[in-house]
Every structure is written in structure tokens, then in C-alpha cells.
């Protein structure tokens, strides 16, 4: 169907507005990247906007050698990988039985889980529970309190409900139990949804900040979010580069160090997202048709 003049104007306005919004969101990240790759003289002169001036990697070298950025990166990786595996496993084990029409009292269990989205215990009661379990200064304090996202569980439940029941019935006729049906039928057909929810959980754990500040007291267990925040807030970031001599950091500015730290924290998610982007919209939309 040929678009009318009004449709063309509408599309043009939409594309223009969305392009402006996208550029507005993208500009801070591009600016930070430019600062991290620019020469100190250009940064101090205020010449850096969206393109690096006097390309330099000294800020990244100082960051890697003078701070615990590698240790924090390893901690973030552990928190994210283990957290995603545990969360996806428990979310799947919760969503699958609730998606079965023959599961007894499934509506009651679903309502109880939805109730947790409306009310929370609060920071202090949660901290007291975590402390009583002896989880302070362990990563289990980051994993256990939010192991299952009710929203993600409902998305997965709706996705499972939309899968053809004929396939599952055929598997039962062939002698498959519930575990085999889940592992061999349901999960292979749910890759878009699994990739999408894994991305949700991955971003959540990678960007964990408040929970780390509350439950982790040992600085060598901090993740990238906390380390970079401390660098950004620090007024003496250059003095903290203990492995560098004064002459080694004379061409480095605090802005470039902080910008390099932000980029080290952001780049992993930017690298992962393109591989999961094709599943992103499909997984969420299909999983939200019902429920």
C-alpha cells in the first residue's frame, strides 16, 4: 500500500525526533571515549568533544598498572557469570511448572510471586537477614536476595505457555518425563527468550552497585561499578596511582583516568549486546503476548 503524503510527513517527523533522541543518548558515551583517548593538553584546553585529540593510550596504561582495575574486572565477571547461571536456572525451574495447566494451585503461586513486585521488605530487614545467614563479605549476598526476578519469570512463563502443546504431548507419548520435555523440547525452542533474559540478568549483575557497597566490606572484592565510582568521586585520583612515578603521569589528567575507567566498565556490555540484539525484541514480545 502506497503511503500518503500525511504518512510520509509523519514518518519523517518520527525519524527526525528519534534520531535526535538517539544522538542525545549517544553523545555522553562518545565524549567519555574521546576523553579517554586524548592527549592531556587537549583535555585541559577543552578541545575534546566527540573526537579524540592527540591520540593517546597512556590513561589506559596508567589505569591497568596503577589501580586494581583488573581485579575488579575479574570480580565483576565472577559476579555476572555465576549470577546469570543461577538466576536463569532458578527462573526456569519456577516458570516451567507455573506454565503447566495441570499444575495444582499454579494461579495461587503466581499471585504470591506477583505480590513480591508490589511490596518489599526494605534495606534494613534485608541486611539483617543477610547478616544472620553469615553472607556478609561473600558474593552470595549479591546473588541470593535477587536470585529470581518476578518480571523475568512471568515473561518466561508466558513464553512457555505459547509453545505448541502438540510437541509436548508427542514427547509424553514417546515416554519423556517433565525433565526431558523441558530439556529437549521447551528450552531448545526458547532460545530467543533465554538470550533476552540472560542479557537482563547480565546487565543487572554487571552494574551491581548498592548491594556491593552494603554487603561487601573488603575492597579487594569490589566490582568495577564500585571501583569506577570511587575513582570518579575521588579528588586525588592521580595520587592513588601508586605504581607510577610523578614523571610517568605528567601527561595524564584525572579526567582521562576516570574516562578510561568508565569505558572499561561499559565496553564488555557493548561487545555482548550485538550478539544478543537479534533475540532481544523477539524474545520479549513473544513472551508478553499472554499473562
Rounded Cα distance, 259 and 252, in Å: 12
Q: Which of 49, 20, 44 has its CA nearest to residue 32?
A: 49
Query: Which of 41-45, 82-86, 98-102 has the highest mean predicted lDDT (pLDDT)?
Result: 82-86
How many CB atoms within 10 Å of residue 202? 21
Contact 226, 209 (CB under 8 A): yes
Q: What integer pLDDT is reported at residue 288 of this predicted model?
A: 47
Q: Per the structure block, which three cell numbers stand in for 267?
A: 565496553
pLDDT tens, 221-269?
Answer: 999 888 888 887 766 665 666 555 455 555 677 788 888 888 888 888 8
Rounded Cα distance, 117 and 182, in Å: 27
List the chain domain ranges.
1-56, 57-291
Q: What's the rounded mean pLDDT across residues 74-91?
A: 94
How many CB atoms within 10 Å of residue 224? 27
Residue 45 pLDDT > 80, yes or no?
Answer: no
Q: What's the rounded mean pLDDT across residues 104-124?
A: 85
Q: What integer pLDDT is reported at residue 204 of this predicted model?
A: 92
Please identify which residue in the block is written with the cell numbers 499472554.
Answer: 290
Q: What integer pLDDT is reported at residue 289 of this predicted model?
A: 45
Rounded Cα distance, 70 and 162, in Å: 44
Least confident of 29-38, 39-48, 171-180: 39-48
Q: Provide the H-helix boundaries in 163-223.
A: 165-173, 178-181, 191-206, 210-215
Least confident of 7-11, 46-50, 132-136: 46-50
Report the predicted TM-score, pTM, of the whole model to 2 decimal places.
0.83
28-268-151-171 Cα dihedral, nearest 10 degrees: 150
Residue 291 pLDDT > 50, yes or no?
Answer: no
CATH class of the domain at 57-291: mainly alpha
Rounded Cα distance, 177 and 181, in Å: 6
Q: Which of 286, 278, 113, 265 has its CA nearest to residue 190?
A: 286
More confident residue, 46 or 281: 46
State the DSSP H helix or E strand holding residue 223, giving kind and residue range, or none if neither.
none
Q: What integer pLDDT is reported at residue 244 of this predicted model?
A: 54
Rounded Cα distance, 69 and 236, in Å: 17
Residue 101 pLDDT > 60, yes or no?
Answer: yes
pLDDT tier for residue 189 given thresholds of 50, 70 and 90 = confident
Q: What integer pLDDT is reported at residue 250 of this predicted model?
A: 58
Q: Which residues contact 121 (CB under 8 A, 6 or more apart)?
A: 129
* Sign of the Cα pseudo-torsion (40, 41, 45, 46, in order): negative
Q: What integer pLDDT is reported at residue 233 of this predicted model?
A: 78
Amino acid at each position: 500500500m502506497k503511503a500518503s503524503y500525511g504518512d510520509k510527513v509523519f514518518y519523517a517527523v518520527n525519524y527526525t525526533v528519534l534520531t535526535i533522541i538517539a544522538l542525545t543518548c549517544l553523545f555522553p558515551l562518545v565524549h567519555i571515549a574521546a576523553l579517554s583517548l586524548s592527549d592531556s593538553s587537549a583535555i585541559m584546553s577543552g578541545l575534546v568533544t566527540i573526537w579524540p585529540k592527540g591520540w593517546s593510550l597512556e590513561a589506559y596504561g596508567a589505569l591497568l598498572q596503577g589501580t586494581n582495575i583488573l581485579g575488579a574486572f575479574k570480580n565483576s565477571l565472577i559476579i555476572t557469570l555465576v549470577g546469570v547461571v543461577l538466576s536463569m536456572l532458578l527462573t526456569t525451574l519456577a516458570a516451567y511448572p507455573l506454565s503447566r495447566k495441570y499444575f495444582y494451585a499454579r494461579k495461587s503461586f503466581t499471585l504470591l510471586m506477583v505480590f513480591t513486585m508490589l511490596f518489599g521488605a526494605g534495606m534494613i530487614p534485608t541486611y539483617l537477614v543477610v547478616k544472620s545467614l553469615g553472607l556478609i563479605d561473600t558474593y552470595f549476598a549479591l546473588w541470593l536476595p535477587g536470585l529470581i526476578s518476578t518480571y523475568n519469570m512471568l515473561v518466561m512463563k508466558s513464553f512457555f505457555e505459547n509453545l505448541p502443546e502438540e510437541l509436548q504431548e508427542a514427547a509424553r507419548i514417546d515416554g519423556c518425563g517433565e525433565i526431558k520435555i523441558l530439556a529437549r523440547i521447551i528450552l531448545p525452542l526458547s532460545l530467543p527468550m533465554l538470550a533476552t533474559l540472560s542479557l537482563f540478568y547480565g546487565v543487572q549483575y554487571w552494574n551491581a552497585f548498592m548491594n556491593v557497597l552494603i554487603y561487601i566490606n573488603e575492597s579487594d572484592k569490589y566490582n568495577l561499578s564500585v571501583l569506577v565510582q570511587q575513582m570518579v568521586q575521588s579528588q586525588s585520583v592521580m595520587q592513588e596511582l601508586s605504581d607510577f612515578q610523578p614523571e610517568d603521569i605528567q601527561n595524564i589528567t584525572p579526567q582521562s583516568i576516570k574516562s578510561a575507567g568508565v569505558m572499561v566498565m561499559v565496553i564488555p556490555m557493548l561487545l555482548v549486546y550485538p550478539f544478543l540484539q537479534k533475540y532481544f525484541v523477539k524474545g520479549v514480545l513473544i513472551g508478553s503476548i499472554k499473562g
